[in-house]
Structure 1
Amino acid sequence: MSVRDEIHAQITGALKNAKFPINTPEKLLAAFPDGANTTCKAGDIEVTAGEAGKLLKASDFPFKSAKQVADVIVQRAGL
Structure 2
Amino acid sequence: MNIKEEIHSQIVGALAGATFPIKTPDELFDALPDGANTTCRAGDVELKASDAGNVLKSDDFPFKSAKEVADIIVDRAGL
The TM-score normalised by the length of structure 1 is: 0.99
**Matching of residue 50 in structure 1 with residue 42 in structure 2:** no
Q: How far apart are 1:18 and its partner, in Å? A: 0.2
Number of residue pairs matched by the alignment: 79
Structure 1 residues not aligned, in runs of 5+: none
- What residue is the counterpart of 1:63 in the other structure? 63
Percent identical across equivalent pairs? 65
Q: SS at the partner of 1:54?
A: helix
| RMSD between aligned residues | 0.4
Per-residue deviation, residues 20-56 of structure 1 (Å, max 9, x unmatched)? 0000001001100000000000011001111101110
User: 5+ unaligned residues in a row in structure 2: which ranges?
Assistant: none
